[in-house]
Structure 1
């Protein structure tokens, strides 16, 4: 049996790569929906605050509702995707997004809006669990990084579109929310033509369908047969996965890495600034339009960095990429804190520096963690618990996102913007240490090769060094 533990894939034809790219782009539209709803609330809060009486606590509840819903969405999707299939769950994401967008646009009260955004959160949480897994299981190892990162590209592109839409619409927050139904319908239309994950099909003993799907996306019968044989080496070992399986000693390193990368992506502050940058900047003397433009400019830089990162993760590796990006984001946070000392930015020059530092921070932090978080969580877990493992990683992301969302404005009030930025910088330093010692390199390896490294206790970087020394 050819298990191909080297994890290397044969070159594909341009037509087949075009098909894989098409599959990834359509599926990743769920990321655009997630990003749009993440970004649009930062602009909509300005208009909502004038129409409804909202203090900081109410603003945090409106913003946090989508995250609270995501906690349930990501956990529920894991078992369902293992039972019903990856493709069906992506379709479910599109349906929930469409309904949530319409309900948000028609909200007659803040309470109804919070409930509508909770519904959007169910779909957002589901998308972060299922879409990266679906793309990873369809993509060839040599191109898996850039294919999965398409999801994150769509997220940050959606955030940028949200700020551009919010700037154009002004106080018309209902239209801002309602326009989210457009990409949801495109996602739904496209998914009806896409195949099911071949790895899920093999788990369900639908071998011929899995082989047919792999022949379609690889363009080579022999390669498809060899890949089926490799997948079977892990499918036959563990046919069924349960939540308690994630606690097995040999799987625990994957859980630690996936959940911790998700945690650090949030507690280093990037979503806090995406959600509340317009509010923080207006309090610092920026006009509404200037605050929206400044944040929109920053998210545009994130889009550019995500494109660059999608190439780099398949050339220099996931771990190295993170170690390159995070130090610069720490410097930007330290300088931001300095600029907000005392009375804050009071001159045109200091305000320009605030915009540049905000842009640099989001570009490096969100362009670093954002590129790798969903990619790593879709790669490190064994096939028989991949749905549940990715759900746990997404749950970690959304849990800490909720904590940050519900505390950011309060932290700025209690500690001041300066010390809030410096707190995020200190946490970023801890994240660097964690990445250096514990995050493995998964570039160029098949998903089955990564699973074999877990089983052989050669997952962490220090374990590999010890094995080589012996």
Structure 2
């Protein structure tokens, strides 16, 4: 009984830590998603054309690309916890500047500042959670970050709808609340035990592990395995080593396909696209809320499935659904979906696509990136994953409206259907199953050359 109480206590602490850290994901989702509704007002206030809309939208993505690259060396030097706290401060500054922006130039700069914080969180929060979570719960714990991301997106869609008759400045300003919660919460949480061990502070690492596991013997065994696999902090060039390459291919590939399969095209521009094909502005915003609910539910399902089914199986089972949904969506736009039943088929196809895409690739991206790299270059590997994500996101956000104009909505979604099919083939070939394995066991498989054969 005493052991059970200790285990429950340790699990409760881990859950609390993961929940507070995942608030960074809530900010990530809110600040990237709120532009969907705000853009309708900002376009009118600042008389923006297509290029202007894409620049305002993509500024946060450009900042995120820089933020995730800066976070890697700083998190290795200062620690995961302090970097998350710093990101929270940047969120606060960016939110204040955005909500008070007198013109489009200041707004773009504010969105870039917010992007820096988003990029930092996307790089370091999944790593922090992965390094404190027990192996049997690591999947759902890391996916908690993605669940917070899509929850933030849903909150942004709801806020956008409720504030549609208010100022877009209020939409941006509401983001300051979770930023303050993240900063205060992280200030009282422990440092990563694996980061402490990497820095040579084995006593501190053991104290943290003992607190997290509530079993001195289990904590000692885990610390011994960390020390046994430990190498010194590696430079960026370590990612080019042949034995690390399978991890790079798997994680970067999932990150790339997470974006180029089209989910953020739907996320950023759904109201604009739907308003353009006959939905009223309020109806378009309500459609976005339905998408947000679908994303939260599918991510919650994915947080269960990554440990129950496995990472690879989840991807292979859900991606085909995204392909079919996009084919239906493209067909509806091709035949005209502005009246009657076709309108609702179009909306249903978008929601189904969000369920299948978010429940697979978006669930897996941060988890795969956080767990496949060896400790010596994990932070830099995760930066590469995040940089790939944000580079592809920048490309999507800068080109979506132009693609719709050039190819038509139908052609654009046919293209995304084909890319989802390619993503399925990539997962089948290059993404192994890491469910139930410790981070050190995954690293050992890389060194032994058996990483791709993990099932």
Same fold (TM over 0.5): yes
Equivalent residue for 1:379, pick from 348, 371, 375: 371
1:19 equivalent to 2:13? Answer yes
8 Å CA contact 1:299–1:363 kept in 2: the answer is: no
Q: 1:348: how far off?
A: 2.4
For structure 2, the residue ranges without an aligned partner over 5 or more in a row are none
Match of 1:56 in 2: 50
Match of 1:6 in 2: none
Equivalent residue for 2:82, pick from 66, 74, 88: 88
8 Å CA contact 2:306–2:314 kept in 1: the answer is: yes
8 Å CA contact 2:66–2:116 kept in 1: the answer is: yes
Match of 1:216 in 2: 211
Match of 2:357 in 1: 365
Q: 1:172: how far off?
A: 1.3
Q: 1:370: how far off?
A: 1.1
Equivalent residue for 2:223, pick from 225, 228, 237: 228
- Structure 2 counterparts to residues 30-429 of structure 1, below 5 A: 30-170=24-164, 171-235=166-230, 238-342=231-335, 344-429=336-421
8 Å CA contact 2:271–2:288 kept in 1: the answer is: yes
- Pick closer, same or farther for the CA change 1:312–1:12 going to 2, 3 Å: farther
TM-score, scaled to structure 1: 0.95
1:445 equivalent to 2:437? Answer yes
TM-score, scaled to structure 2: 0.98
8 Å CA contact 2:7–2:215 kept in 1: the answer is: no
Any idea what the Cα deviations from partners look like across 1:174-214, whole Å, max 9, x if unmatched? 00001111000001110011000000000101011000000
- Pick closer, same or farther for the CA change 1:61–1:11 going to 2, 3 Å: farther
For 2:440 and 2:248, locate their aligned partners in 1 and report how far apart those are by CA, in whole Å.
17
For 2:6 and 2:254, locate their aligned partners in 1 and report how far apart those are by CA, in whole Å.
32
Equivalent residue for 1:435, pick from 415, 418, 427: 427
Q: Secondary structure at the match of 1:340?
A: helix
Equivalenced residue count is: 451
Q: Which runs of 4 or more aligned residues in structure 1 lie more than 6 Å from their structure 2 counterparts after TM superposition? A: none
Any idea what the Cα deviations from partners look like across 1:242-296, whole Å, max 9, x if unmatched? 0011100101111111111100000000011100000000000101110010011
Q: 1:413: how far off?
A: 0.1
Q: Secondary structure at the match of 1:341?
A: helix
For 2:5 and 2:395, locate their aligned partners in 1 and report how far apart those are by CA, in whole Å.
44
Q: 1:240: how far off?
A: 2.0
For 1:192 and 1:405, locate their aligned partners in 2 and report how far apart those are by CA, in whole Å.
34
For 2:137 and 2:372, locate their aligned partners in 1 and report how far apart those are by CA, in whole Å.
16
For 2:342 and 2:5, locate their aligned partners in 1 and report how far apart those are by CA, in whole Å.
51
